[in-house]
Amino acid sequence: MQVFRHIPSRTAAPIALAIGNFDGVHRGHRAILEMLCNRAAELGLAPCVMTFEPHPREFFSPATAPARLTSLREKLEMFEGAGVASVYLCRFDSKFASISAQAFTDDILRRLNARLILVGGDFRFGADRTGDIGMLRDAGFAVESVPDVTVNGERVSSTAIRKALADGDLKHAAALLGRPYSLSGHVTHGDKLGRELGYPTANIHMLHDRPPLFGIYAVKLSGIAEEALPGVASLGVRPTMKINGRPTLEVHLFDFDQDIYGRHVHVIFSKKLRDEEKFPDLEALKRQMAIDEQMARDYFKNES
């Protein structure tokens, strides 16, 4: 899969193009990608995606923008897995935000030689969101709107998934996503406190400071063995050790003692065990960590 960080002057061949933020690449997004690849194959076009970085809401209101469900790398990996041939990654800055709907149509979509455009039913584009599907059709583009996807009568959306994750309802989030929720990143060096307490952890570097979930979880870690390894994870600000700490993701793997620094891994969240809390001292924290580990072990034992 090719990733373009600019819009070329003209694509060599016509393409089928899906446009959206695709945060989470959930079941609704996957329906768009599946339709994109199917229709592209029927028409002899390359299936392509246009997405934006950062998320437009992060640009317009960084303090109140919703937590990201997926990093850019995770999105790109899932696009490739879905069969996308090329991704046009548009940097969403003040210049891009000021592009009129007409200019977006004439200067971007025509340069991409978009023979077919696929979007969600609520798609809007251009400065002040003045462009819509009707405008694209009036400009001569073939446009197909992909219907909403529902699960048990509920519309699948990134907002609904964020709420489920914040509520600790991982089962519901997985139903909307079409897979268990996960976060990925490289294993980095931490302060080694977990090792001192008898619970060595892999510290997972997160690119964004506002994850969509917090707490203590039974997890599995993929990326270091043929099968995902079980463990327990803490995702939070570590209030027992720090004041105004940065959100940190730490994973303690069961019966594991290997050097995995620098590895890129996926933390798959299986069950929320409890909320994060501040303990009076490290001994109290250590006692709770033993309880957390046993709860996670029991969960995976019963799961199998």
Q: What is the phi/psi pair of residue 167, to 5°?
A: -80, -5
pTM for this model (two decimals): 0.91
Residue with tokens 């924290």, as numbered in its chain:
285
4-8, 15-19, 105-109, 225-229: least confident range: 4-8
| 303 band by pLDDT with thresholds 50, 70 and 90 | confident
pLDDT at 233 over 90: yes
Query: Is 90 exceeded by the pLDDT of residue 208?
Result: no
Confidence at residue 196, expressed as pLDDT on a 0 to 100 scale: 66
The per-residue DSSP string of the chain comes to -EEESS--SS-SS-EEEEES--TT--HHHHHHHHHHHHHHHHHT-EEEEEEEES-HHHHH-TTTPPPPSS-HHHHHHHHHHHT--EEEEEE-SHHHHT--HHHIIIIIITTTTEEEEEEETT--BSGGG-B-HHHHHHTT-EEEEEPPPEETTEEP-HHHHHHHHHTT-HHHHHHHHTS--EEEEEEE----HHHHTT---EEEP-S-S--S--EEEEEEEESSSSSPEEEEEEEE--TTT-SSPPPEEEEEETT-----TT-EEEEEEEEEEE-----SSHHHHHHHHHHHHHHHHHHHHHH-
Contact indicator for 299, 271 with CB cutoff of 8 Å: yes
Percent of the chain with pLDDT over 90: 69
* Domains of the chain as residue ranges with CATH: 2-155 (3.40.50.620), 181-303 (2.40.30.30)
pLDDT tens per residue across span 22-54: 999 999 999 999 999 999 999 999 999 999 998
Q: State the chain's mean pLDDT as an integer.
A: 91
Bigger pLDDT: 3 or 57?
3
Q: What are φ and ψ of residue 282, in 5° steps?
A: -70, -30
